[in-house]
Structure 1
Amino acid sequence: MTRVLVLAGLCTLFSQVYAIGQDSCVSFKSSSSSFAVVSNGKAAPILVSADDWAGVHLAAADFASDIQKVTSVKATLTNTTSSNLATASKGSLPIIVGTLGKSSLINQIVNSTGLDVSSIQGKWESFLTRQVKNPLPGVASAYVVIGADKRGTIFALYDHSEQFGVSPWYWWADVPTTQHPELFVSSSGCSHGSPTIKYRGIFLNDEQPALQSWAMDNFTNGTGSAQLNSPFNHLFYSKLFELMLRLKANYLWPAMWGSAFAIDDPLNQPLADTYGVVMGTSHQEPMMRSTPNEFILFGKGTWHYVNNADNIKQFYFEGVQRAKNFESIYTLGMRGFGDLPLSEPINIQPLEQVLADQSDLQGLEGYYDDGMPVPDYVTLMWADDNWGNIRRFPIASERNRTGGAGVYYHFDYVGDPRDYKWITARLTHIPRIATTQIEKVYEQMSIAVEREATRLWILNVGDLKPYERETEFFISYGWNATRWSQNNLGDFVTAWAQREFDLSAASSAKVSQIVANLTRFNARRKPELLNSTTYSLINYREAETVAAQWAQLQDASTAIYNSLPSGTKPAFFQLVHHPILASSNIANMMLAAGQNNLRASQARYSVNSLADKVEQLFEKDYDIETQYHTLLDGKWTHMMDQTHLGYYYWQQPMTNTMPSITRVQKNKINIAGVMRIVPEGTLGAWPGDNPNQCAQGYSCPPPSISMDSFSSPSNRYIDVGAGGPIPFTFTATSNASWLTLSPSKGSISPSSPEQRVFASIADWSKLSAGSNSAIITFKATATGQPDLSVTVMFNAQKNTVSSGFKGFVEGDGAISIEAAHATRNNSVSGVAWSELPGYGRTLSAVTPMPRTDANFSAGTGPSLEYDFYNFNTLKGQGNVTVNAYLSPSLNTNGDTPLSLALQIDSLTPQIINPIPAAAPGTLPAAWDTNDGWVANAAVPISATFNGVSPGAHTLKLWMIEPTVVVQKIIINTGGLQPSYLGPPESVLIR
């Protein structure tokens, strides 16, 4: 019995195996050192001692079934004793399965052969396997599978099944099993020591409407439990428990919003114990009681410990009595009904009494930080912020507690600033589409490992689907954290793709990149928070770039999907393709809605076609949902029921609603003329009046556009658009020979209402140093209309860096640098800034590693140096501002806040504490709003430096405290424009 306080590259010994992150002992070809599981159409018999754990017998039955899935050969499974081994093995070399100290067969083998089991003896969930000669009388040789305890044996069997090619998700994601006629294991076998994390679990939460409706259809006759009408009965949990054990998870918080595990089905609790799954209850459900559901049904009085202590203590006592015969972890503490804070005016004193009384019977971060005493044997569970950012890790003085520490993490979430329950897997509370980066999960959970929060990890997976891949990584990392580092996370997805879809190494690598981009794009801002102006519609071609990225991703996924055999397509659709189709559709709809509204303000006729596009994409969202629900004759109907469009506050909308769009009258002639001219980077439009042309809003000068020799991209565009229903032709000419226009003419009509003209400079050597001007003239000709002419002023700034300079160069008034692209990386005392590949909104991130407890004063610690060259300063006054995007990270080091320093050249380093202090148990004010730091997936910081003249300089990023994560750096020299992701990376001279 454990009590917890909840606080708010692969080894290949054999080829072609399907294991993820483990040493393989399986092959599909015989060798001199292999044991035949199936050969020549005959399977080795499987023998299990009748006195072994019931859960071992269940896993052994699955093991036999898995062999048949792979080879189509049925292996016999026999419960036997040593006295009839010869009969049970039928003259074949058997596989003998059992638990050390429990199985009489295994005990006899160890005693009679002297088999060395010291590597697993007494170790939690450990196992070893190997071929043993003359293990027992009448058996010449056997492949012996030995677990140190019940789950050790179970995990050994499922470990082999996975290597055979049976995915843990064979039922839950319909992953087919690749057939092989023969199956072998190495004589030396496989082994695994104790896992990194003792208890590794999932939490089914916010399970309405999807999971609950699906389970009602699949595991009941349409009527749920008597008390709560819950569909989560033993039939449902049998499927879930098997999945968990195949993943090597061992701990569950069951569905709870409209359910109560122990009373929904009287078979639930004993079934979990039979399978070997440790049961707990969520952070708001103390002492193995579903709260508020069970208290409403069976409790007396109010849920108020000061006024109703005796009745609540009795309620707790009944929960303990009910669970006493089963392997359980008891949640301590007390929350209000509905996961709300307690109502007592003074919370610490009542909670102290709650903990004392609960301890007699057999967690609340802010209260603990405020000084509430917690017994040493209680496990402290540190929660994340509901968005995947852990609030605190154990400090040095807390790491020797006998109860240890753990982490409660989310892939799905209901609450402020907004639910995310659709496709957002971010490894916290999860919406229904992959929005959680494995890289983010690794970054946070690796700190938990290093800070010894290793007793218990629980992951809120919402409805479980569609977070299959990310859930598996979370559990796999907890099973063996030494397998994975920031540099091989892509190998996890590559191996996953090979296992799930039987792809080649090259195609699996493509899937790994597809998944990385999917989760990166969704993690930038969850679909539930995306709106029509999230990405800039005018600066840095941000909206266009995002749309192009989604299009490329969808094309790549479609190519893989179309190449797959029909039996594999359902799995790929669920695990990869559907999230991409659905996410891309939402992104394109929001971008089109933003362009629709902008172009309406610019009096452009294309507003109507964009309105049509938004409506089409809105209806397509339902079509994609329907495609998922009709898969495999409707097996997963309801799994994508979650609404996700049209949030009006934090709670899910009751139905999806389309983003706002507008239209212009189809037959109305624009009073300013047939043609609209809109240069890149402006909200204005010409001719006629527009409030964004100039401050006055009327009688404004012609538009202008500029670029310099280090602009990125290296051209500019001018949109030529229809102002109404009248077709016209246009020409674009320049008075400067050095300026190229493409195309230089075109036709505009209601069916083709836009044409983009690019202005570029082929040879900068033909320009003079400094400013160069040109005039671009657009002329429109339309039948029955007067000719129309609009001029655009074009300025080209030719800049030159000093000879021999190497580094990043200012373009368009800013220097943009991906944090990983440092010129130099300087370590101190074995600590250095390290790249987290793939993590972040644009490329990657950097963080100091290893994450020791050591800190440094500004200017003395590990540093990254970035050489840069600027031509301008802010208002020409010798100042520049350094901006950086940090990944959201909380002050996890106890009383010591996160800290880093920025420095230019030899100027005084500026210390930055990015996360302001907040009261215990609360978050900073800027953290949680719709446009807060977690919503934007970035914490912005800035520092202004004086005395930075034009020329070559070096920016230094200094470590002060560990766990700071930096994604991108932008030096503003006067031209930085608003955008969500920041400017594209500047030109780098190498």
Structure 2
Amino acid sequence: MPSLQAFAGFAALIGGAHAIGQMSCVSFESSSSAFPVVSSGQAAPVYFSSDDWLGVQLAATNFATDIERVTGQKPALHNVTSLTSAVQSGSKPIIIGTLGQSPLIDQIVNSTNLDVSSIDGQWEAFMTQVVANPLPGVDSAYVMIGADKRGTIYALYDHSEQFGVSPWYWWADVPTKQHSELFVAATGCAHGSPTVKYRGIFLNDEQPALQNWAMEKFSNGTGAYYTGSPFNSEFYTTLFELMLRFKANYLWPAMWSSAFAVDDPLNQHYADMYGIVMGTSHEEPIMRSTPVEWDIFGSGPWDYSVNRQNIYDFWVVGAERGKPYENIYSVGMRGAGDLPMSPTTNVALLQQVIGDQRQLLSDVNNGTNITTIPQMWCLYQEVLAYYEEGLQVPDDVTLLWADDLFGNIERFPLYNERNRSGGAGVYYHYDLVGAMRDYKWITSSQMTKTFDQMSLAVDRDAVRIWILNVGDLKPYEMQTEFFITYGWNSSIWTPDNLNTFVSTWAQREFALSESDSGTIADIIANVSRYNSRRKPEMLNGTTYSLTNYREAEIMLEEWNTVLESSTAIYNTVSLAMKPAFFQLVQHPVEASHTVATMWIYAGINNLYASQARVSANDYATQVQSLFQKDYDLELEYHTILDGKWDHMMDQTHIMYYYWQQPMQDTMPFVTWVQSRKSSIAGVMRIVPEKSLGAWPGDNMNDCAQGYSCPNPTMTFDPYVPFQNSYVDVGAGGPIPFDFTVTSNASWLEFSVTAGSISLLAPEQRVYISVNDWSQVTGAETAVINFNATAQGQPLLNVPITFIANHTVPSEGFSGFVEGDGVISIEAAHTTSNTSVAGISWIELPGYGRTLSGITPWPRMADNGTNFTAGAGPHVEYDFYNFNTIGQAGNITITTYVAPSLNANGDDRPIAFAIQVDSETPQTEYFIPPAAPGELPDAWNGMDGFAATNIVPVVTNFTAYPGAHILKIWMVEPAVIVEKIVIDTGGLVPSYLGPPESMTV
């Protein structure tokens, strides 16, 4: 780990300063050792050298403004031109500067023998502390020293954040909490070189939201001369400041209909002045925008095999244009329109491309050693195939490994690839335009998954460059900051403390109590979990089962709970805080809740209509209302703060017809039941739980024949997780009726035994439970009669056969028990956990689709070893089954694992092993093979691994009724197991699998 990393751990927060993942040195109350930044209405003067970097001078000016934001007192700011007139005698100043660049700092170091060895020569490191007698006539000063330009800048903004100025004070309107007194600890704060050298974001897919907003706010609707782009230097300087405040240093600029260096000639200048390293995306070589610049200035086809000279000359301009500035040059080449360069993997051609690019970079830079010019080649999609099939990449070029577009990194450096001088990095997505479907609208990436994937990158030394596709940037604010913060210092974040990032963020942004901040952490974890189960753009009315395991109902309850929690806090925050809370928490919650609920209601509407239930109309009405509410929330976002964020939620997101965004939001399809006409089957509709059909009358789901079907049968046992079942009683037309529920079994209990149904109250749910299982021996059958009486109508009777099966495990058994023909286990709920070679299965709290995930940890323990099946770390689960499939002694186990890709090379595909009792463990290599640069077929499609965010691994075993032990064995590291479902003959379809089984 870099030097001083240990100092940046979770130091105790001093006096309420909320530092996220950094050393705390700020307080708002005086102490004997504290240095007064502002005290008794007086602000310490701030000094820096005019010889220092312009970016440092600008940050120092902002630093002084931040002090004024907090205290109302603005420090006197001194840009010193000479040492002789430097600092006033008798003052207690704050002195800011960069080693080797600031004469002020160099004099202090030389005259006081200040030990700066911990940062000297380090990338972006800084230290601060009170120094006695730093300059003639000055008793003491708070000295802030950066090892380089950004080191100094980060020291300043690090302190500003602790003072109470959020990095998002402008970009998310976070108010600054006021304090009349402001102090720093004499020992100051420090940080060594960051974990990741270049930590960046990529503005992408910026139409319609970001571009429309910037057009209104920064260009008065005109845009750049050549491109019409609104992304000018005024826009970018606000972005540069934000990035530096949350410790990013690298940017791929907006690229669609935009060209960074052409849109505004000052863009490159200001990026370098502020201290932002510029790059271009994976498809834009040598700092030139493609296809935008090529379409304007290029000549001939974008095909190096037939138009080499014109393309080469085009790149020369990019190299010359970038020469004065700090850049990372993208090398390589893709085809026009972000497509493959050629139909086949033409390794020789791409080898020539890269060789020519490196030669021109050296030539433009006057013969500079090419290995000293930062370069990157992104192994994105089919580009990976070139590398896998033998393309020789110069050792000094950073290999940027990419994810699958859905947050699953495709490949990491192998052992023999980790000594390259150019190192490796990761290109990661929070936003996408592409197959299977765009997702650009709302937060749908789990922070826990980001942690898992990027911690793998750290484990495997892919730490030279991290770049995150953030789309429009908003509404991914917090998640973006976490990505960069983790790259700034990965060593302090673990699965055990990850949630504290969000709770501390909530305290920093909203000045909330510890309790409310914990609630915010839960809210954000749940919103991202629910949206990552399936991206909102991929939802439909039957994503979550409308009949099995109460899945859709549970989803509605979960969304309602998270909305209620968020709204409760939103209603208590101050008026000044509401815009920030709305943008960062309330809107993502409420908008996601609205769309998810709308889709489920659309599914219920269609199902109920097929069952001839008049209540279908109520759901159609609610779908219409929610569809309008979705736009109301968009308008609310656009009108807060007098329209500051107008257009930022322009992104369409409802009713995709193929992968590309729809040109307009369209309401989900709903249907209507004629409520003025009587059903030919009678006044009453009876629908038992788990049934797609309805009685009386004909329905294709009542039986295979679809007509003349028998009356329904329901089964129940003591270990059904819900402890009850239900029957819906509904109206089939306009005629009101009264109903009664009776049974011939005393051991049955009903939530209601009578009720009234009308158009005003068209539905009532009757819950059925067993009130005394001691009265049930084995399997006993009862008849439940639903009788409807209506004026002028004959008595309508629908009998239901109800079978209660009283089965119990053997005395003394402890573990999961079969209920309703299935055993469902959350992977974290183990019976035992056995370590081998210092590796254990640990829980990743909050990870995945349901509860959490488990994974072998540490992943690089024992030199990243793997194990043969049955030899490594393993977890055990005790379960008891009463049945088997077809009563033939067989069970099927589905292990739900995260869609992790191969981290260890083709000779070590990702795997785990599974075992029941003493049977031979079965090794599961659960990712199908694919050609280099491609993903397996099972990965793709609307029901593929990426879209569903899960890989179901199905294994068959023999397990006769009784007690058993299930074991999951580590074979390869990086496997994440989320859930285990054992089918004993009763498993029915659902999206998330059955809820967790009961235990005894």
TM-score (norm 1): 0.97
How far did 1:83 drift? 3.8
Specify the code of the residue in structure 2 equivalent to 1:396: Y
1:683-738 CA-partner distances (Å, limit 9, x unpaired):
11111111111111111111111110111110000000001011111111111111
1:935 paired with 2:935, answer: no
Partner of 1:820: 828
Q: Which amino acid aligns with 1:489?
A: L
| Residue 390 (structure 1) aligned with residue 409 (structure 2) | yes
Partner of 1:6: none
Partner of 1:68: 68
Q: Which residue of 1 aligns with 2:541?
A: 532
Give, in whole Å, the separation in 1 of the partners of 2:953 and 2:702: 32
Aligned to 2:49: 49
Q: What does 1:606-645 align with in structure 2 at a 5 Å threshold?
A: 606-645=615-654
Asked if structure 2 preserves the Cα contact closer than 8 Å seen for 1:333 and 1:351, the reply is yes
Residue 607 of structure 1: how far off its partner (Å): 1.1
> After the TM superposition, which residues 268-283 of structure 1 pair with which residues of structure 2 at under 5 Å, given as runs?
268-283=267-282
Residue identity matched to 1:867: D
Asked if residue 741 in structure 1 is aligned to residue 764 in structure 2, the reply is: no
Equivalent residue runs for 1:535-934 within 5 Å: 535-768=544-777, 770-852=778-860, 853-895=864-906, 896-934=908-946
Distance 1:663 1:748, change over 3 A: same
Partner of 1:429: none
The answer to whether the 8 Å contact 1:81/1:105 transfers is: no
Q: Is the 8 A contact 1:928 1:935 kept in 2?
A: yes
Alpha-carbon displacement from aligned partner over 1:606-662 (angstroms, at most 9, x marks no partner): 111111111111111111111111111110010100001111100000001111111
Whole-angstrom distance in 2 between the partners of 1:456 and 1:761: 61
8 Å contact from structure 2 (residues 89, 136) kept in 1: no
Distance 2:281 2:932 in 1: 21
Q: In the alignment, what sits opposite 1:949?
A: 960
Work out the CA distance in 2 between the residues paired with 1:404 and 1:273.
24
1:14 alignment counterpart: 14
Per-residue deviation, 1:89: 3.9
Give, in angstroms, the shift of residue 253 of structure 1: 0.2
SS for the counterpart of 1:139 is coil
2:984 to 967, 973, 976: 973
How far has the Cα of 1:13 moved from its partner?
5.0
For the 8 Å contact 1:82–1:136, the answer to whether it is kept is: no
Shift of residue 271 of structure 1? 0.5
Q: Which moved more, 1:182-191 or 1:889-898?
A: 889-898
CA distance in 2, matches of 1:102, 1:83: 13
User: In the alignment, what sits opposite 1:97?
Assistant: 96
Q: Name the counterpart of 2:528.
A: 519
- State how 1:503-518 maps to structure 2 within 5 Å: 503-518=512-527
Alpha-carbon distance in structure 2 between the residues aligned to 1:82 and 1:507: 51
**CA distance in structure 2 between the partners assigned to 1:219 and 1:84 by the alignment:** 43
CA–CA distance in 2 between the matches of 1:136 and 1:92? 11
> Aligned partners of 1:987, 1:565: CA distance in 2, in Å?
44
Q: Partner of 1:431 in structure 2?
A: none
- For residues 851-901 of structure 1, the C-alpha deviation after alignment (integer angstroms, 9 at most, x for no partner) is 122111111111111111111111111111110111111123221211111
What is the deviation of 1:560? 0.4
Closer, same or farther: CA 401–83 of 1 in aligned 2, 3 Å: closer
User: Do 1:202 and 1:459's aligned partners in 2 also have CA atoms closer than 8 Å?
Assistant: yes
Matched residue, 2:309: 310
Aligned residue runs from structure 1 range 107-126, under 5 A: 107-126=106-125
In structure 2, the residue matched to 1:436 is 445
SS of the aligned residue for 2:427 comes to: strand
Aligned length: 968
1:343 offset after TM fit, Å?
2.8
Structure 1 counterpart of 2:913, one-letter code: A
Q: Is residue 417 of structure 1 aligned with residue 436 of structure 2? A: yes
Deviates more, 1:98-107 or 1:616-625: 616-625
- Residue 875 of structure 1 aligns to a residue whose secondary structure is coil
Q: Which amino acid aligns with 2:226?
A: Q
Tell me the C-alpha RMSD between the 2 structures.
1.0
CA drift at 1:10: 3.1
**Partner deviation per Cα, 1:819-850 (whole Å, 9 max, x = no partner):** 11110111110111111000011100011111
Q: Distance in 2 between matches of 1:636 and 1:280?
A: 27
Preserved contact between residue 15 and residue 29 of structure 2 (Cα < 8 Å)? no
Check the 8 A contact 1:81/1:104 in 2, yes or no. no
2:980 corresponds to 1:961: no
Residue type at the aligned position of 1:897: P
- AA aligned opposite 1:402: S
Work out whether residues 119 and 126 of structure 2, in 8 Å CA contact, stay in contact via their aligned partners in 1.
yes
* 1:92 CA drift (Å): 2.5
Q: Residues 246-325 of structure 1: matches in 2 within 5 Å?
A: 246-325=245-324
Are the aligned partners of 1:85 and 1:138 in contact in 2 as well (CA < 8 Å)?
A: no
**Deviation of the 1:988 alpha carbon:** 1.4
Please report how far the alpha carbon of residue 801 of structure 1 lies from its aligned counterpart in structure 2 after TM superposition. 0.9
Q: Is the 8 A contact 2:90 2:139 kept in 1?
A: no
**CA shift for structure 1 position 765:** 1.7
Q: Which moved more, 1:531-540 or 1:72-81?
A: 72-81
Unmatched tracts of structure 1, length 5 or more:
1-8, 424-433
Q: Does 1:483 align with 2:492?
A: yes
The separation in 2 between residues aligned to 1:50 and 1:517, in whole angstroms, is 49
Alignment pair present for 1:365 and 2:384: yes
Please tell me whether residue 472 in structure 1 is matched to residue 488 in structure 2: no
Q: Decide whether the 8 Å contact of 1:395 with 1:893 is kept in 2.
A: yes
Sort the Cα spacing of 1:346 and 1:763 in 2 relative to 1 into closer, same or farther, 3 A.
closer
What is the CA deviation profile of residues 436-462 of structure 1, one whole-angstrom value per residue up to 9, with x for unaligned ones?
A: 110000000000000000000000000
The one-letter code matched in structure 2 to 1:877 is: A
2:998 matched residue in structure 1: 987
> Is the Cα–Cα contact under 8 Å of residues 433 and 440 in structure 2 kept in the other structure?
yes
For 1:809, give the aligned amino acid. Answer: V
- The residue identity in structure 2 corresponding to 1:972 is D
Alpha-carbon deviation of 1:323?
Answer: 0.5
Contact 1:10-1:491 within 8 A present in 2 as well:
no
CA distance in 2, matches of 1:408, 1:63: 32
Q: Structure 2-normalised TM-score?
A: 0.96
Q: Does the 8 A contact of 2:730 with 2:757 survive in 1?
A: yes
Q: Distance in 1 between matches of 2:210 and 2:625?
A: 28
State the distance in 1 between where 2:78 and 2:760 align: 73
Residue identity opposite 2:231 in structure 1: F
Q: Deviations over 1:567-596 (max 9, x none)?
A: 001001000100111111111111111111
Shift of 1:945: 0.7
Structure 2 alignment gaps of length 5 or more: 1-8, 362-376, 378-382
Counterpart amino acid of residue 787 in structure 1: L
Q: Deviations over 1:512-557 (max 9, x none)?
A: 1111111111111010000000000000000111001101111110
* Corresponding residue of 2:167: 168
- 8 Å Cα contact 1:826-1:832 kept in structure 2: yes
Shift in Å, 1:789: 1.1
Partner of 1:5: none
CA distance in 1, matches of 2:621, 2:10: 49
